[in-house]
Amino acid sequence: MTPTVSHMRTLIKQYVELTRISNLPTCWTNVLTGSVIGSIAASNPLAILPVVALSVIISLFYMAGMALNDLVDLKIDRQQRPGRPIASGRISPGAAFVFIILLFAIAMSLLLICFPHCIYLGLLLVIMIILYDLTHKRFSFSVAFMAACRALIYIISAYAVLGAGAKEFRADIAIASAVLALYISFVTLIARSENKQQIDKRRWLSVAIMLLVPAPFAISLPTTIYPCIVAVILLIILSRAAIFAFGDPPRIKQAVLTWLACICLLDCLFLAVLASPVPAAAAGLCFVATTLSHRRIGGT
């Protein structure tokens, strides 16, 4: 292997670590769920090409947000997480800034080309990402910005599929977005304790509420058994992660990584309720992919 190739591989590895690409499957399942909701609302079969295009666009937004997070947290990371790419000096702040701008620019350009009617939603997503990264170390309410980011993936995906003629904010999109936002809020709140020796006891309530997310789907909506099975599996995995978080010693990072991967299972549950077996199976596979990826690439 030549020095140039070796240097390139090292550089790619550093940017992979910076952008937390191990979490990207959770974005893809968000896109898939939003797209299925949109296709059902439009009474059209789900098309693969828009899902792929949206997945690329949302992935770019996500990677830009993760890189910006590390750039904003540079001073703190030098003390608490000196091994991170920017804090360790492996990537310079200037190079990271250019990389972030490039990712945002490409994402917005692709959104404008492929789904021009969603460009304002894309701008709103960028604003939410920036607001979260700038405030998440200072204010607890910043979890609302992160929740909005995830909810916007559903909304952008649904309206991208629905087309420019969609004027009303549909109830099904609102319900799915609200449930996802609630889940993300609690996961983000608990993740703030990752570098502490224990979770604040007041956050027990967060875990309890988060564990109740699958309950309505297991009890009422489904006319088949499959959503119930997914809901039970999700509840078991969420509960196991809670045991990690509140154990002695607490394994908060492991719990948070599990809860992040469970975003895919939450999408799998939505898709099962929507009677979309193939997308639901794909979301389940994304859960496995995210869990395995976390073993090689840090997700937090």
Q: Residue ranges per domain, the chain?
A: 15-293
Model confidence at 215, pLDDT cuts 50, 70, 90, reads: low
Mean pLDDT throughout 157-184?
A: 81
pLDDT digit string, tens, across residues 239-263: 888 787 777 777 778 888 998 999 9
Global pTM reads 0.90
Model confidence at 37, pLDDT cuts 50, 70, 90, reads: very high
pLDDT for the residue numbered 206:
59
Share of the chain above pLDDT 70, in %: 85
On average, the pLDDT of the chain sits at 85
Q: Which is more confident, 214 or 7?
A: 7
In the predicted structure, residue 64 carries a pLDDT above the cut 70: yes
Q: What fold is seen in the domain 15-293?
A: Tetracycline Repressor; domain 2 (1.10.357)
* Positive or negative torsion for Cα 102, 104, 109, 110: positive
In the predicted structure, residue 198 carries a pLDDT above the cut 60: no
Q: Which is more confident, 174 or 57?
A: 57
Mean pLDDT throughout 198-204?
A: 53
pLDDT for the residue numbered 166:
63
In the predicted structure, residue 197 carries a pLDDT above the cut 70: no
In the predicted structure, residue 54 carries a pLDDT above the cut 60: yes
pLDDT for the residue numbered 153:
97
In the predicted structure, residue 127 carries a pLDDT above the cut 90: yes
Mean pLDDT throughout 48-59?
A: 96
- Identify the weakest region by mean pLDDT among 85-89, 170-174, 206-210: 206-210
pLDDT for the residue numbered 196:
54
